Amino acid sequence: MVAQDVFLLLKTSAYEKLDLKVYGTFFEIYGGKVYDLLNWKKTQVLEDGSQQIQVVGLQEQEVCWVEDMLNLVELGNSCRTSGQTSVNAHSSRSHAVFQIILKSRGKLHGKFSLHYPLH
Phi-psi region of 20 (alpha: psi -120 to 50; beta: other; left: phi over 0): beta
pLDDT band at 85 (very low <50, low <70, confident <90, very high): very low
Across the range 42-55, mean pLDDT stands at 86
> Are 76 and 70 a contacting pair, CB within 8 Å?
no
Length of the chain equals 119
Rounded Cα–Cα distance for residues 18 and 37 (Å): 29
Phi-psi region of 40 (alpha: psi -120 to 50; beta: other; left: phi over 0): left
Average confidence score pLDDT of the chain: 85
- Domains contained in the chain, CATH given: 2-116 (3.40.850.10)
